[in-house]
Amino acid sequence: MKPILEVKNLACGYQTQPIFTQVDLALYPGQLSGLVGPSGSGKSTLIRAILGLVDPWAGEIWFRGKRLRPGAPPPKVGYVPQVETVDWSFPVTAEEVVMMGRYQQQKLWPWPSRRDRAIARELLSRVGIEHVAHQPIGELSGGQQQRVFLARALVGEPELVLLDEPTSSSDLHVQHELLHLLADLNQQGLTILLSTHDLNSVATHLPWVMCFNHGLICQGQPIDVFTSHTLERTFGGEMVVFHQADRILIASGLTSLRHQLKRNLPPELHQPRSKSL
Amino acid sequence: MDFLLEPFRYEFFSRAVVVGMMAGLLCGVMGVYITTRRMSYIAHGLSHAILGGAVLSYVLGLNFYIGSGIWGFGAALLIQYLTSRKIYSDAAIGIVTTASFALGVAVISTYRKFSQNFEAALFGNVLGIGPTDLWIVTGVTVALLGLIFVFYRPLLFWCFDREVAQVHGVPVFAMDTLFALMLAALLVATLQVLGVTLIISAVVIPASISRLLSDRFGYMMVISGTVGAAIAFVGIYLSYYFDIASGASVVLLSTLVFGIVLSWTRFQRRKKRYISPFHPERPL
């Protein structure tokens, strides 16, 4: 099978500072993958480079067998940005946000058509939030906002969807629901790549993970990839991996955990108790 | 009735009202883009920068609208360029616009003969608008409203989320340039109504009123344009009877309307929050 997306020998940076160099990776049609790494490791830069938002210093990006021009987004791609970058006070409803994603399907008439509205409604229904279609985007819950952006990414009928830290500011329940939704969409044939630094609640639930820290460290199924050795290389600290049945639990190393506990104790508990006479 | 229609007997007054309303409509509609993109300071600065262009056009014998328009467009592009070169946007606006304004002041102080024009440029002189100005303002209004109609979707996407808009194929750099051009045209066309010091109020206040009344971008544009035109009409009309500068009258009236709408929306919100003591779901 030919990959839908190929990144060859890619290097990116800001100003004169390189963020990563010599990155090679491939995504195959129907793959659901996670790009895992600590904050500041270059995950978002890699996603932005794939989308043409950052000009690479070197290397090539291929989509469906065609080389992309630097700075050009791949055709048929959806993107869900980090929620921190969104202006939540902007006066638009959930439906209007989703319809923005229909821009490339715009015909001669410059305003949204009935068909655009119907498709936006269908997408909102598919992600389970049709009832908030007319609500301002800023009044929705974090999980609903995330689904609106997912619907916008899907409304242009993409072959590949990239999500940048989709679960970073949501609680466990919302994370769980979003992962289920992504798994359902993936079952329907959509190729998905999401970035995350959250190992336990997100990364271990993905069928394929790529460990990334200023370069690709390793990739594979979580059960093979998530070892103390690779996680220490990725996250730069002591990591302990517990396997129970088909589940994986990852904790920061015991030494650092002990240090952390000690740091968080109130000062009086660090002091030796004074002897009372 | 004759008393009320009295000012319209003067041709210059009728022309002032028509031009004022078109300026109010245009500033109101464009103001929604400007305020939601947090560009109010750019609009304020550019209106000052245009003074340099206006004075230079006068000295070089160029048409005011063409000379000032090109100058304003160039200043907007220069701000964009500086912002992309590690300079904070407010600092870039400060550098470009004050330099341009200072150039205007320097030329004026050298050619002392147009001190009255300088005052008109600063505070506006809607009653001094001639038939040519009327046609130019009408042309700019039609052109800008036409551009907004045609580019409504890409401009909305660009305004809300520039980066994702780029991924979806919106030509964002072209949108940056188009908007800079539209902003320069707006400011040049409406400069004579309110002047460089007061023009920002016509851009910001109707848009802020519409923000209080609506959560939808499209409705905001309709409300803001209507409010801007209505305030311009009433403001210029009242300025005739109270014998005050028409620009100041429009600004003061729009501030009053803003205060009323703000109080009314606060009251409405509190009313909605109130739970009756007899409400069945009121917590004990």
Average confidence (pLDDT) over A38-42: 87
Whether chain B has a CB inside 8 Å of the CB on A77: the answer is yes
Q: Output phi, psi for B237, to 5 deg.
A: -60, -45
Place of tokens 């919100």: B269
Identify from A89, A92, A117 which residue to disrupt to test chain B contact, counting B C-beta atoms within 10 A and taking the largest count: A92
**pLDDT score of A276:** 33
How many Å lie between the alpha carbon of A138 and the closest alpha carbon of chain B?
Answer: 10
CA distance B190 to B22: 9
**C-beta atoms of B157 and A52 within 8 A:** no
**C-beta atoms of A110 and B150 within 8 A:** yes
Average confidence (pLDDT) over B40-56: 85
Whether chain B has a CB inside 8 Å of the CB on A156: the answer is yes
Query: Residue A277: pLDDT above 50?
Result: no
**C-beta atoms of B36 and A90 within 8 A:** yes
Q: Which residue has the higher pLDDT, B192 or B35?
A: B35
Q: Which residue has the higher pLDDT, A202 or B253?
A: B253
Q: Is residue B277 part of a domain?
A: no
Average confidence (pLDDT) over B28-36: 94
Interface of B with A in 196-255 (CB under 8 A): 211, 214-217, 220
DSSP per-residue string spanning B239-261:
HHHHT--HHHHHHHHHHHHHHHH
Q: Is residue B174 part of a domain?
A: yes
Q: Is residue B8 part of a domain?
A: no
Size of interface A-B (CB pairs under 8 A): 74
Query: Residue A256: pLDDT above 60?
Result: no
**C-beta atoms of A103 and B154 within 8 A:** yes
Length of chain B: 284
Q: The domain spanning residue B93 has which CATH number?
A: 1.10.3470.10
Place of tokens 């990364």: A203
Q: Is residue B279 part of a domain?
A: no
Whole domain around residue B164: which residue ranges? 15-270
**C-beta atoms of B36 and A100 within 8 A:** no
Q: Is residue B1 part of a domain?
A: no
Q: Output phi, psi for A34, to 5 deg.
A: -120, 135
Query: Residue A204: pLDDT above 80?
Result: no
**pLDDT score of B117:** 61
Closest CA to A155 of A223, A104, A110: A104
Q: Which residue has the higher pLDDT, B223 or A106?
A: B223
Identify from A100, A135, A157 which residue to disrupt to test chain B contact, counting B C-beta atoms within 10 A and taking the largest count: A100
CB B120 within 8 A of CB B51: no
Closest CA to B188 of B6, B62, B59, B13: B62
How many Å lie between the alpha carbon of A100 and the closest alpha carbon of chain B?
Answer: 6
Closest CA to A252 of A263, A65, B164, A171: A263
**pLDDT score of B59:** 83
**C-beta atoms of B164 and A111 within 8 A:** no
Q: Which residue does chain A place closest to B220, by CA atoms? A: A91
Whether chain B has a CB inside 8 Å of the CB on A16: the answer is no
Q: Which residue does chain B place closest to A52, by CA atoms? A: B167
**Number of independent structural domains in chain B:** 1
The structural domains of chain A, with segments of one domain joined by +, span 1-76+159-238, 87-157
CA distance B80 to B246: 33
**pLDDT score of B213:** 95
Query: Residue A247: pLDDT above 60?
Result: yes
Q: Which residue does chain A place closest to B85, by CA atoms? A: A15
**pLDDT score of B252:** 93
Domain A1-76+159-238 superfamily per CATH: P-loop containing nucleotide triphosphate hydrolases (3.40.50.300)
pLDDT-based confidence at A85, cuts 50/70/90? confident
Q: Is residue B32 part of a domain?
A: yes
Q: What is the DSSP-derived secondary structure letter of residue A189? A: T
What is the share, in percent, of chain A residues with pLDDT greater than 90? 36
Query: Residue B220: pLDDT above 70?
Result: yes
Q: Which residue has the higher pLDDT, B191 or B176?
A: B176
**Lowest model confidence (mean pLDDT) among B93-107, B136-150, B262-276:** B262-276
What is the share, in percent, of chain B residues with pLDDT greater than 90? 40
**Lowest model confidence (mean pLDDT) among A128-132, A245-249, B92-96:** A245-249
CA distance B156 to A144: 21
Q: What is the pLDDT of residues A91-127, one digit of tens each?
A: 999 999 999 998 888 777 788 888 888 999 998 998 8
Query: Residue B32: pLDDT above 50?
Result: yes
How many Å lie between the alpha carbon of A93 and the closest alpha carbon of chain B?
Answer: 7
Q: Is residue B248 part of a domain?
A: yes
CA distance A57 to A12: 5
Question: Exposure of B272 by Cβ count < 10 A (0-12 exposed, 13-18 middle, 19+ buried)?
Answer: exposed
pLDDT-based confidence at A239, cuts 50/70/90? confident
Closest CA to B22 of B178, B206, B261, B189: B189
* Angle at B44 (CA atoms; ends B38, B47), nearest 5 degrees: 135
**C-beta atoms of A52 and B167 within 8 A:** yes
**pLDDT score of A17:** 87
